[in-house]
């Protein structure tokens, strides 16, 4: 991440390869120099607050939106207007448009004609699992049912790259668990590259193998989940001891309960770091993924002015992501 | 499956809307006309009616809606703009010819039955009548093409530039027409214009120029679509 390769160096073996991607809307940079490599057959979590740029990024990957600057490759090829590449990709959007006169079965019929690996049996099974009436008009579906149709399309498409952009809106806890279970089962059977863009981080914490955190259009964290969680810890103890321990580390957040301080610490928190904390008499706990993401986003705060910040784009990502 | 072909077929998946509406509305317009003619039976012989235009209007609306609803839907299913356009244009072509054949068939019935027994010219109106069957087919087909691509074109303008785009386009059309009228008046060229309308063969008027218009609209729709964010 220290040197930014030119577009020529895009890695041909990556499923998704993104370099210097920027997109500005009036008054706001939705994406601001995003670099990303996603490799085959993993489940990625694309995290970030509302407006962090997740949807814009996913739509640019599909060639639905246009970037102001930067390069995108899917399977080593430019996706824009390339049917051969795009039919290997399925993006499930929360705000997908459906023709007024289409019923559920029409949507599935359409998808079956467009995705070469479409699995009709799986789609039928999922319809039953999610209690979807195939003859019901899309206009008459509840918010949750609409989301369920998207989930069915995404899973049954068996596309080599499947992107879910907040697919759970209106789905109850039971239906969401069903989705996660089905996704994992299908993934185990036929590995593919999955990107889950979601706010419900705790629900997918065990599912996602790699975390990409977007914040104000930049990549804040790009790390596999395990080493990300290993790189941080909740350290609890007397205020002065905690601060002594944290002096040469990065503190994402502090909570005080009387004299007791609890700090979310990252940087050099591998086994030796933990041992050091324990030796000081501090309590060390793992940080739940959701909390780590929230604290990292909070610590990043508002982005510095664009012009002044060009040489430190992924400072935190480097410190958390590359810690062994 | 071939992507453009799939795009065309998907729009026929819910066929009652694609085929049923135009035919249904034509049937209703026909029935209403038939009733009116029956009510005034025997009065003016060989009266004509514009009821046939209804099917062309429905055709226009169908493809306007295709761009506003089917295009974003299919984009969401990984279809490129090119494949969407090719498939939909194919559908416009096929449906135009099919509907024109149907109109031709009904015209045959109309002639054979002496205007449905009431002297009503529903399908063979005025200058649209051609003696040659092939020319008659062309006269029926081309307006469908023009209406279909007009629908697509306006759909693209709306998708890409929104309400402002539609107003700007209306303004542009008005400005151009106004300028033409002013120019013709200033040059005192109205007789020439009138003569042009008289001199242009009816076939060119109802098939030739609309075909040029259809091709132009199709090209503009495609160019606009290329950079549309669905």
Query: Which tokens is B221 given?
Result: 């729709």
Distance from CA of B149 to the nearest CA of A (A): 19
Do B229 and A103 lie within an 8 Å CB cutoff? no
DSSP state of B124: S
Q: Are strands A43-47 and A210-215 parallel, antiparallel or unpaired?
A: parallel
Instruction: Check CB contact under 8 Å for A110 and B10.
Output: yes
Nearest CA to B72 out of B156, B178, B168, B161 is that of: B156
Residues 6+ apart with CB under 8 A from A120: A112, A156
Cβ neighbours of A61 in B, within 8 Å: none
- Residue B9 has its nearest CB partner, among A103, A113, A153, at A113
Q: Are A14 and A71 in contact (CB under 8 A)?
A: no
End-to-end Cα separation, chain B, in angstroms:
23
CB pair distance less than 8 Å for A64 and B1: no
CB-nearest partner of B229 from A64, A87, A97: A64
pLDDT in tens, chain A (324 residues): 444 444 444 455 689 999 999 999 998 899 999 999 999 999 999 999 988 999 999 999 999 999 999 999 999 999 999 999 999 999 999 889 999 889 999 999 999 999 999 999 999 999 999 999 999 999 999 999 999 999 999 999 999 999 999 998 889 999 999 999 999 999 999 999 999 999 899 999 999 999 999 999 999 999 999 989 988 999 999 999 999 999 889 999 999 988 899 999 988 888 888 899 999 999 999 999 999 999 989 888 754 434 333 333 333 433 333 333
A89 in contact with B, Cβ within 8 Å: yes
Which residues does chain A have within 8 Å of residue B75's beta carbon, measured at their own beta carbons?
A: 62, 64
**pTM listed for this prediction:** 0.86
Q: How far is A38 from chain B (nearest CA, A)?
A: 19
Residues B9, A82: C-beta atoms closer than 8 Å: no
Which residue on chain A is closest to B13 by alpha carbon? A106
Put simply, whether A82 touches B (Cβ < 8 Å) is: yes
User: For residue A101, which residues of chain B lie inside 8 Å, CB to CB?
Assistant: 14, 16-17
- Test A113 with B230 for CB contact under 8 angstroms: no
Please state at what angle helix B81-112 crosses helix B133-186, rounded to 10 degrees. 110
């Amino acid at each position: 991440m220290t040197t930014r390769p030119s577009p020529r160096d895009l890695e041909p073996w990556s499923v998704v390869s993104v370099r210097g991607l920027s997109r500005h809307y009036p008054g706001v940079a939705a994406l601001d120099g995003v670099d990303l490599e996603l490799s085959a057959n993993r489940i990625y979590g694309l995290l970030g607050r509302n407006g962090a740029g997740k949807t814009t990024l996913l739509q640019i990957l599909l060639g639905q939106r246009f970037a102001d600057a930067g390069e995108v490759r899917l399977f080593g090829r430019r996706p824009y207007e390339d049917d051969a590449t795009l039919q290997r990709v399925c993006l499930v959007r929360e705000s997908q448009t459906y023709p007024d006169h289409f019923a559920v079965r029409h949507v599935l019929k359409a998808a079956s004609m467009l995705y070469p690996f479409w699995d009709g049996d799986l789609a039928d099974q999922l319809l039953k699992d999610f209690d979807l009436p195939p003859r019901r008009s899309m206009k008459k579906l509840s918010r949750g049912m609409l989301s369920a149709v998207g989930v069915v399309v995404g899973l049954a498409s068996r596309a080599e790259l499947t992107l879910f952009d907040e697919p759970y809106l209106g789905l109850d806890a039971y239906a969401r668990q069903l989705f996660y279970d089905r996704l994992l089962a299908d993934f185990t059977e036929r590995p593919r590259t999955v990107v889950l863009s979601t706010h419900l981080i705790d629900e997918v914490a065990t599912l996602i193998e790699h975390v990409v955190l977007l914040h104000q259009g930049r990549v804040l964290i790009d790390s596999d989940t395990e080493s990300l969680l290993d790189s941080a810890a909740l350290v609890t103890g007397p205020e002065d001891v905690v601060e002594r321990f944290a002096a040469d580390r990065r503190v994402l957040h502090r909570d005080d309960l009387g004299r007791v301080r609890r700090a979310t610490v990252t940087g050099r928190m591998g086994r030796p770091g933990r041992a050091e904390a324990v030796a000081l008499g501090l309590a060390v706990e793992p940080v739940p993924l959701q909390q780590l993401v929230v604290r990292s986003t909070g610590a990043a705060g508002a982005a510095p002015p664009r012009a002044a910040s060009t040489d430190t784009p992924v400072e935190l990502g480097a410190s958390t992501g590359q810690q062994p | 499956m071939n992507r453009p072909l799939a795009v065309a077929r998907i729009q026929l998946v819910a066929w009652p809307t694609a085929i049923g509406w135009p035919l249904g509305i034509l049937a209703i317009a026909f029935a209403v006309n038939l009733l009116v003619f029956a009510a005034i039976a025997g009065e003016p012989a060989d009266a004509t009616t514009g009821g046939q235009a209804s099917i062309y209007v429905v055709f226009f609306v169908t493809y306007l809606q295709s761009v506003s609803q089917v295009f974003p839907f299919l984009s969401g299913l990984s279809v490129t703009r090119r494949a969407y356009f090719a498939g939909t244009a194919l559908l416009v072509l096929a449906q135009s010819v099919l509907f024109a054949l149907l109109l031709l068939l009904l015209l045959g019935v109309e002639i054979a039955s002496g205007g449905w027994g009431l002297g009503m010219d529903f399908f063979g109106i005025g200058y649209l009548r051609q003696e040659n069957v092939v020319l008659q087919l062309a006269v029926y087909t081309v307006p469908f093409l023009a209406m279909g691509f007009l629908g697509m074109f306006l759909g693209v303008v709306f998708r890409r530039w929104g309400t402002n785009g539609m107003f700007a386009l209306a303004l542009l059309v008005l400005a151009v027409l106004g300028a033409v009228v002013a120019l013709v008046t200033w040059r005192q060229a109205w007789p020439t214009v009138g003569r042009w309308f008289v001199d242009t063969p009816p076939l060119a008027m109802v098939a030739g120029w609309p075909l040029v218009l259809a091709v132009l609209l199709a090209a503009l729709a495609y160019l606009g679509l290329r950079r549309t964010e669905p």
